[in-house]
Amino acid sequence: MRRLLAFEMVSLDGYFVDARGDMSWAKNAVPDPEFDAFTTRNAEGGGVLLFGRVTYEMMAGYWPTPLALQTSPAVARRMNEGAKYVFSRTLREASWANTTILAGDAADEVRRLKRETGPGMAILGSGTIVSRLAGDGLIDEFQLVVIPVVLGAGRTPFAGIRERLDLALTQSRAFANGNVLLCYAPRRRPD
């Protein structure tokens, strides 16, 4: 069965977007070659990318541009060439290369995708999708990069979760710029 991970950049107070829905604060304010190398290796890891419509439109508006190709060529290449799914009931066509629109129920679509053979899958951003799939126990790993900024208000990637998620820390890593990677897996409940 294919695995699904969620990769989120969150503020110290747990938000992935601020009160206006902006996430530009997550951009590295402090240059850090080690963190840049980590994000490049992470992007080159392959796999299928999953997005909600809002995150998809933001990513599709940036990664195919000459600026992205100049600034982060390896990441841009991976983002542009890799397979992508976008969950949306309103998009009729997707102009970003290698994108498939999924208009059905997100949990049902992910269950189907997980049963197929192929590379692992990763959700980038897309808090509504993360909270929906996490609540259904469909996410196998949560990778959170905590950015050392306090926003005071915004939206967490877990808004709307109805039941507690018990998670186990599987990995952590601190970077010189103050960012901290925290990886968690759901704890298996006794049957």
pLDDT at 28 over 70: no
Rounded to an integer, the average pLDDT of 61-90 is: 92
In percent, the amount of the chain with pLDDT more than 70 equals 97
The pLDDT > 90 percentage for the chain reads 72
Average pLDDT for residues 108-127, to the nearest whole number?
Answer: 93
Asked if pLDDT for residue 190 goes beyond 70, the answer is: no
Predicted confidence at residue 57, as pLDDT, reads 93
Pairing assessment for the beta strands 99-102 and 84-87 based on DSSP bridges:
parallel
Q: Which three-class secondary structure string do you get for 70-105?
A: HHCHHHHHHHHHCCEEEECCCCCCCCCCCEEEECCC
CATH level 2 (architecture), domain 4-23+30-167: 3-Layer(aba) Sandwich (3.40)
What integer best gives the mean pLDDT of the chain? Answer: 91
| 95-108: average pLDDT | 95
pLDDT score of 191:
47
- Three-class DSSP labels, the chain: CCCEEEEEEEECCCCCEECCCCCHHHCCCCCCHHHHHHHHHHHHCCCEEEEEHHHHHHHHHHCCCHHHHHHCHHHHHHHHHCCEEEECCCCCCCCCCCEEEECCCHHHHHHHHHHCCCCCEEEECCHHHHHHHHHCCCCCEEEEEEECCCCCCEECCCCCCCCCCCEEEEEEEECCCCCEEEEEEECCCCC
Model pTM score: 0.91
Q: Residue 189: pLDDT above 70? A: no
Confidence of residue 41 (pLDDT cuts 50, 70, 90): confident
Q: Give the confidence band of 42 by pLDDT, cuts at 50, 70, 90.
A: confident
User: Which of the pair, 191 or 89, is modelled with greater confidence?
Assistant: 89
Per-residue pLDDT, averaged over 77-106, amounts to 94
- Ranges of each domain in the chain: 4-23+30-167
- What is the average pLDDT across 155-179? 93
Low-confidence winner among 15-19, 42-46, 90-94, 112-116 (lowest mean pLDDT): 42-46
Give the pLDDT mean for 150-162. 92
